[in-house]
A and B are shown apart, each in its own frame.
Chain A
Amino acid sequence: DAGITQSPRYKITETGRQVTLMCHQTWSHSYMFWYRQDLGHGLRLIYYSAAADITDKGEVPDGYVVSRSKTENFPLTLESATRSQTSVYFCASSSPAWGETQYFGPGTRLLVL
Chain B
Amino acid sequence: GESVGLHLPTLSVQEGDNSIINCAYSNSASDYFIWYKQESGKGPQFIIDIRSNMDKRQGQRVTVLLNKTVKHLSLQIAATQPGDSAVYFCAPAGGNNRLAFGKGNQVVVIP
Contact = CB atoms under 8 A, between A and B. Distances in A.
B25 interface: no
Contacts of A105: 43
Q: Which range contains the number of B residues in contact with the other chain?
A: 20 to 34
Contacts, number: 50
Contacts of B32: 99-100
Given A40-B103, A43-B89, A100-B32, A48 B98 contact: yes
B1, B41, B49, B99 pick with most chain A CB within 10 angstroms:
B99
B104 A90 contact: no
A92 B101 CA distance: 13
Given A40-B103, A41-B103, A48-B98, A104 B93 contact: no
Interface of B: 1, 32, 34, 36, 41-46, 49, 89, 91, 93, 96-99, 101-104
